[in-house]
């Protein structure tokens, strides 16, 4: 450090700029995926079937936050508004909004044992760092009811006009380019992982009614490790099978809609474990017929009516005569 310098106003200015841009773009990135409900998606079918006591604290938080599309948009918009940090005239209000959003994220991370605790804490510190020179003035305004004036940051003076034009051009091009990347990423990711992603043609929850192995019906017994109990088809290329002993396992699937065929493969090996022809007897009954290794297998599955699940179907009620707290 140069002791002969009276101050480091230029260094401080560029440090503030760096912190503002980092905080703004970090929150905008998280906010953009919240708005389209990518970070906290709607609870999956498996999550809806999972007993509350089996959830981790993080899983509970993700289910709570993901349930409400409106709350996702609310959180996302607040975080996206950190774009105000990028401009001198709106920096203070942007810092307040960013600090509020960061404190909320930090609280969720701390109290629900979510990773990224250090990053969320750092974002809070950054918000406080940006507001630090103005906190005393703001407090005087609210506590004394007297007019107060915020002192603007001292902007470095460019010696030549072309330097100022080049700086501003680079700044706005960088902002537009970065925001464009965030928006396009959030938009297209919806079609891969979000609400607009294609669902499996067999999407749903199925309870096994009949399980016939080599022509002989296998009756349900609680300790049976092989007989299927329930099938959940949630994601396009995956299937979850629960056996009678309540063991659950994910499998990869390849579905040929035209031929009405489904291959079910272990996620750990490439070998095909089940190869079925499938057919819907009616809207609620699905039949699998085919092979498990060298054994013939016929499975009758009853599709569960998803409208009977309260959480995704409760809806909004402006007036409640009695609390609906279950």
pLDDT, residue 131, reads 94
Q: Using the predicted structure, report yes or no on whether residue 271 has a pLDDT greater than 70.
A: no
Q: Using the predicted structure, report yes or no on whether residue 29 has a pLDDT greater than 90.
A: yes
The residue extents of the domains of the chain are: 9-189, 204-308
What's the average model confidence in pLDDT over 91-120? 97
Q: Using the predicted structure, report yes or no on whether residue 8 has a pLDDT greater than 90.
A: no
Q: Using the predicted structure, report yes or no on whether residue 15 has a pLDDT greater than 60.
A: yes
What's the average model confidence in pLDDT over 70-96? 95
pLDDT, residue 159, reads 79
- Angstrom CA distances, 126 to 7, 23, 35, 100, stand at 22, 7, 23, 12
pLDDT, residue 251, reads 92
List Cβ<8 Å contacts ≥24 apart for 100-103: 101/27, 101/31, 101/75, 102/23, 102/27, 102/126, 102/127
pLDDT band at 31 (very low <50, low <70, confident <90, very high): very high
Average pLDDT score, the chain: 91
The angle at the Cα of 174, spanning 95 to 155, to the nearest 5 degrees, equals: 55
Closest CA to 204 of 233, 182, 228, 227: 233
204-308: what CATH class?
Answer: mainly beta
Rounded to whole angstroms, how far apart are CA atoms 301 and 286?
A: 5
pLDDT, residue 163, reads 84
pLDDT, residue 2, reads 57
Tell me the DSSP string of 232-287: EE-STTEEEEEETT--EEEEEEEEETTTTEEEEEESS-SSEEEEEEEEEEETTEEE
The pLDDT tens digits of the residues spanning 161-176 come to 888 888 889 999 999 9
Report residue 78 as tokens: 């607040």
pLDDT, residue 148, reads 84
What's the average model confidence in pLDDT over 133-162? 83
pLDDT, residue 203, reads 95
């Amino acid at each position: 450090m140069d002791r002969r310098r009276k101050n480091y106003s230029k260094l401080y200015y560029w440090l503030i700029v760096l912190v503002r841009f980092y905080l703004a773009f970090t929150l905008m990135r998280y906010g953009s995926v919240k708005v389209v409900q990518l970070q906290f998606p709607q609870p999956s079918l498996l999550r809806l079937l999972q007993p509350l006591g089996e959830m981790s604290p993080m899983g509970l938080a993700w289910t709570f936050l993901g349930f409400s599309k409106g709350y996702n948009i609310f959180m996302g918009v607040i975080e996206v508004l950190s774009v105000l940090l990028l401009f001198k005239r709106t920096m203070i209000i942007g810092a307040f909004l960013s600090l509020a959003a960061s404190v909320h994220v930090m609280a969720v991370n701390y109290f629900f044992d979510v990773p990224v605790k250090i990053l969320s804490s750092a974002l809070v510190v950054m918000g406080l760092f940006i507001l630090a020179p103005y906190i005393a003035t703001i407090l005087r305004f609210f506590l004394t009811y007297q007019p107060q004036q915020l002192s603007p940051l001292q902007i470095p003076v460019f010696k030549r006009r072309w330097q100022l034009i080049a700086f501003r051009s680079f700044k706005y091009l960088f902002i537009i380019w970065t925001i464009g990347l965030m928006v396009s990423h959030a938009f297209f990711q919806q079609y891969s992982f979000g609400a607009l992603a294609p669902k499996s043609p067999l999407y749903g929850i199925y309870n096994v009614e009949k399980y016939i192995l080599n022509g002989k019906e296998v009756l349900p017994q609680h300790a049976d490790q092989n007989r299927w109990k329930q099938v959940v088809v949630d994601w396009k290329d995956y299937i979850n099978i629960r056996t009678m002993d309540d063991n659950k396992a994910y499998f990869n699937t390849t579905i040929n809609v035209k031929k009405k065929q489904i291959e079910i493969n272990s996620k750990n090996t490439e070998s095909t474990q089940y190869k079925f022809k499938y057919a819907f007897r009616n809207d609620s009954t699905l039949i699998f017929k085919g092979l498990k290794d060298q054994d013939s297998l016929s499975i009758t599955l009853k599709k569960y009516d998803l409208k009977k699940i309260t959480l995704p179907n409760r809806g909004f009620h402006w007036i409640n005569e009695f609390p609906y707290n279950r």
